[in-house]
């Protein structure tokens, strides 16, 4: 009997000491605990985790059943922290990438601005008639830009000096040309070159271009007046022929007939030559060529009588006679 009592006592006490569900917690508490465990398992699954089992919790930490909920909480917290760390890292990586792209864009912008600045300075140097220094002679773009700017300053200073020399050496006849007439025309030209002959040729070409412009204006005026007085304003064929003759005469002006009446050479400090030149051209020579071609034109044969009867045509013939007589 005594042994039976001991056995029964052990059956009651031992399960209680080891946390027996039957004796350690009531069904209501057990149901509440089960509900809480399910809720936190669902939380872990929503976070993308795989909830540990009760056996895993006991194996890892030697936990009893009533510690399972705590183990799940710890797992959830670790997952949340891990995700927060991942998010923070992703944001940091994104920010770093944005800053990198921004820095690259700024670098490209700066490089373009420098390249544009360099090209602008080079263009100015070319405009001043000089050649920019080579980039490889300097160590960096900033030094190159500074060197180019210094080169421009030196060129401009030299140009000012040359201009002063030129202004001081400009001849009086270049500033105040002889007065032209209806039968005589004066034009001028000037140029700078590193060779004397080159400066002479360029100055003469400049004067001849000026001469062509003046002769063209003069003949166009005479042509319009002649056509108007002859009543040929509606005759397109005749007008076209007269304009063609005028253009031919103007073109021939640059070939012959002009005379160099004055010239002066100035040697500049940099070794270049500045030449001033004055040309004289008998406009009556152009008038004669103009009248001769009109008279010999087959297209104008039917209108020649009307043309010769105009005051404008007669004035041209008079100018030619006076030139021939002189």
Q: How many domains does the chain have?
A: 3
Helix (H) or strand (E) holding 277: strand 273-282
Give a yes or no: residue 196 inside a domain: yes
Give a yes or no: residue 35 inside a domain: yes
Co-location of 150 and 249 in the same domain: no
Give a yes or no: residue 112 inside a domain: no
Q: Residues 311-321: pLDDT tens digits?
A: 988 888 888 88
Give a yes or no: residue 98 inside a domain: no
Co-location of 188 and 276 in the same domain: yes
How does the average pLDDT of the chain come out, rounded?
80
End-to-end Cα separation, the chain, in angstroms: 174
Co-location of 205 and 155 in the same domain: no
Specify the pLDDT at position 31. Answer: 81
Give a yes or no: residue 53 inside a domain: yes
Co-location of 197 and 312 in the same domain: yes
Give a yes or no: residue 121 inside a domain: no
Co-location of 38 and 141 in the same domain: no
Co-location of 64 and 182 in the same domain: no
Q: What is the mean pLDDT of residues 131-149?
A: 72
Helix (H) or strand (E) holding 269: none
Q: Residues 103-118: pLDDT tens digits?
A: 888 888 888 888 888 8
Between these two residues, 36 and 245, which has the higher pLDDT value?
245
Co-location of 221 and 295 in the same domain: yes
Specify the pLDDT at position 264. Answer: 93
Phi first, then psi, for residue 275 (nearest 5°) are -120, 135
Co-location of 218 and 316 in the same domain: yes
Q: What is the mean pLDDT of residues 209-227?
A: 87
Specify the pLDDT at position 153. Answer: 86
- Banded model confidence at residue 254, pLDDT cuts 50, 70, 90: low
pTM: 0.49
Co-location of 146 and 215 in the same domain: no
Specify the pLDDT at position 58. Answer: 61
Phi first, then psi, for residue 18 (nearest 5°) are -100, 15
Give a yes or no: residue 110 inside a domain: no
Co-location of 50 and 159 in the same domain: no
Specify the pLDDT at position 216. Answer: 87
Specify the pLDDT at position 189. Answer: 93
- Banded model confidence at residue 202, pLDDT cuts 50, 70, 90: very high
Co-location of 222 and 161 in the same domain: no
- Residue 138, pLDDT > 80, answer no
- Residue 52, pLDDT > 80, answer no
Token readout for 49 is 């985790």
Q: What is the mean pLDDT of residues 178-196?
A: 89
- Residue 323, pLDDT > 50, answer yes
From 121, 145, 165, the end of a domain falls on 165
Q: Residues 13-48: pLDDT tens digits?
A: 545 444 444 445 578 777 877 888 888 888 888 888
Specify the pLDDT at position 141. Answer: 64
From 147, 165, 183, the end of a domain falls on 165
- Banded model confidence at residue 280, pLDDT cuts 50, 70, 90: very high
Please tell me the least confidently modeled range out of 116-130, 252-266, 274-288.
Answer: 116-130
Co-location of 158 and 185 in the same domain: no
CB atoms within 10 A of CB 202: 18
Q: Which domain holds residue 151?
A: 135-165
Alpha-carbon distances of 122 from 106, 109, 113, 136, rounded to whole Å: 24, 20, 14, 15
Give a yes or no: residue 211 inside a domain: yes
Please tell me the least confidently modeled range out of 183-187, 266-270, 291-295, 314-318.
Answer: 266-270
Share of the chain above pLDDT 70, in %: 83
Residue 280, SS3 per DSSP: strand
From 125, 145, 165, the end of a domain falls on 165
């Amino acid at each position: 009997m005594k042994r039976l009592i001991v056995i029964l006592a052990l059956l009651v006490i031992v399960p209680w000491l080891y946390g027996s569900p039957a004796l350690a917690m009531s069904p209501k508490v057990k149901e509440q605990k089960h509900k809480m465990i399910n809720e936190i398992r669902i939380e872990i699954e929503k976070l993308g985790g795989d909830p540990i089992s009760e056996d895993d919790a006991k194996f890892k930490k030697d936990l009893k059943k009533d510690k399972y909920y705590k183990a799940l909480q710890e797992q959830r917290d670790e997952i949340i922290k891990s995700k927060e760390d991942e998010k923070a890292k992703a944001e940091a990586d994104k920010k770093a990438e944005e800053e990198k792209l921004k820095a690259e864009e700024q670098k490209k912008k700066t490089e373009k601005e420098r390249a544009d600045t360099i090209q602008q300075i080079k263009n100015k140097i070319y405009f001043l008639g000089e050649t920019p220094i080579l980039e490889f002679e300097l160590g960096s773009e900033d030094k190159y830009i500074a060197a180019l700017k210094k080169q421009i300053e030196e060129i401009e200073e030299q140009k000012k000096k040359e201009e002063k020399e030129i202004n001081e050496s400009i001849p009086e006849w270049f500033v105040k040309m002889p007065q032209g007439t209806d039968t005589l025309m004066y034009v001028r030209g000037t140029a700078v070159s590193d060779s004397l002959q080159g400066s002479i040729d360029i100055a003469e070409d400049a004067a001849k271009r000026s001469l062509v412009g003046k002769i063209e204006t003069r003949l166009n005026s005479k042509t319009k007046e002649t056509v108007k007085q002859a009543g040929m304003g509606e005759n397109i064929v005749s007008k076209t022929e007269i304009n063609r003759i005028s253009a031919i005469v103007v073109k021939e002006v640059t070939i012959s007939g002009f005379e160099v009446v004055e010239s002066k050479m100035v040697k500049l400090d940099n070794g270049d030559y500045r030449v001033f030149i004055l040309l004289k051209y008998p406009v009556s020579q152009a008038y004669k060529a103009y009248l001769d071609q009109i008279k010999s034109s087959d297209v104008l044969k039917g209108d020649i009588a009307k043309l010769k009867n105009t005051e404008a045509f007669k004035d041209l013939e008079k100018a030619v006679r006076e030139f021939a007589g002189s």
